[in-house]
Amino acid sequence: MRELDMACESFRTLLEEQMRRIAGMEQEKVDFSAKETVTIGLIDGDGIGPVIMEQAGRVLRQLLSEEIAAGTIALRPIQGLCIENRMALGVSIPAPVLEQIRACDVLLKGPTTTPMGGKMESANVTLRRELDLYANVRPVSIPEEGIDWVFYRENTEGEYVLGSRGVALPGMAVDFKVTTDLGTRRIARTAFDYARRNGKSRVSIVTKANIMKKTDGKFTEICHQVAQDYPEITVDDWYIDIMAANLVNPGLRNQFQVFLLPNLYGDILTDEAAQLQGGVGTAGSANVGDRFAMFEAIHGSAPRMIQEGLGEFANPSSILRAEAMLLRHIGRMSAAQRLESALARCPVRVTGGRDGATCRAYADALMEIL
Ligand code: IPM
Ligand code: MG
């Protein structure tokens, strides 16, 4: 069958590409304290993206006004990463936009719409791959329950890396999942280093290694290997299904601290965790690599809110939490702390509907506190 031959041929190409990716994986980490100017790219995205990013930009300019004036921080708006432009050009990230992105050190990014089906890859996935943002860090806290979780989600592999490159044969479709030694080791190191630096005593690995034996099996095995360098930290491993149940088990959930997971399980479990914290509109997300880092809201572009005319009621707290993570990442600790404490104290309630405050009203109140 011609289709079968073509599929086998393209499988070979995919494997060769992945081997080249592995070869380019190890890089030096950038040191922000050694940089004269740190350039922060601001990307609006689409849907509710421009609404929340407008407020995030205002807050950032207020927080960093002195450094912006002194030239040690530069804010650079980046246009053109919206669904209209991407669809018109038929590409996930237009080349000139990617070039502007690469000229920045870190990015604050509004959500970008991912078209369902078709061939176009999610802009997030493209960015994570092109900038090799391998660690997706998502903190969730519920102080009244003593919950202080941080999720370390592998961000460049798993089902995502070839998600737009599956094959369809007559009567069936096949997608691919990729797990590499180096890719697993670097996310595991990042998670354990975080645990050590922050006095966490437990890291929980989450996979479905009973079913995905090769890929998740490797992930679990390598995470346990890395764990041997952190003898003070307790390590356990779980399957994703029971962990999804654990998170809604009030008697158990506050015992978890740091989660270490492959890409897709991390995607799913972090939405669940964010919902427990108060909604996906409340959680920030860092995408960190050795050279670049991108900070964003955990949620999508909410096209339905725009269609229903509710855009101005979008909740900016998720992108603002991401903004605090960005400030921490570039070593601006006091600005990060001021923002975090203002976020914790801001009394304005945004619900995403007309019964709540607008995005702007929330930012106004926050800036008063700052
Ligand atoms: C996320 C989002 C993305 C993902 C989408 C937009 C591609 O859900 O950041 O969690 O699946 O990773
Ligand atoms: Mg998600």
Q: What is the pLDDT of residues 280-336, one digit of tens each?
A: 878 889 999 999 999 999 889 999 999 999 999 999 999 999 999 999 999 999 999
Mean of all residue pLDDT scores within the chain: 95
What is the model's pLDDT at position 119?
Answer: 77
pLDDT-derived band at 120 (thresholds 50, 70, 90) equals: confident
What is the model's pLDDT at position 68?
Answer: 98
What is the model's pLDDT at position 28?
Answer: 85
**CB neighbour list of residue 259: distance below 8 Å, 6 or more residues apart:** 149, 150, 151, 152, 203, 204, 206, 243, 266, 269
Which atom of ligand 1 is nearest to 128's Cα?
12
Nearest to 42 by CA among 80, 16, 95, 9: 80
What is the share, in percent, of the chain residues with pLDDT greater than 90? 89
Residue to mutate (ligand 1; options 124, 270, 288; most atoms within 8 A of CB): 124
Which atom of ligand 1 is nearest to 136's Cα?
9
* Beta-carbon count within 10 A of 18 CB: 17
Catalytic sites, residue numbers = 160, 208, 241, 267, 271
Name residues contacting ligand 1 (CB within 6 A): 114, 122, 124-125, 267, 300
Residue 2 parent element (H or E): helix 2-23
- What is the Å distance from ligand 1's center to 155 Cα? 10
What is the model's pLDDT at position 117?
Answer: 73
pLDDT-derived band at 22 (thresholds 50, 70, 90) equals: very high
The residue contributing the CA closest to ligand 1 atom 4 is 267
Average pLDDT over residues 160-164: 90
Give the integer Cα–Cα distance in Å for 296 and 299. 8
Is residue 285 within 8 A of residue 137, CB to CB? The reply is: yes
What is the model's pLDDT at position 27?
Answer: 80
Residue 228 pLDDT exceeds 90? yes
Which atom of ligand 1 is nearest to 285's Cα?
9
Is residue 279 within 8 A of residue 144, CB to CB? The reply is: no
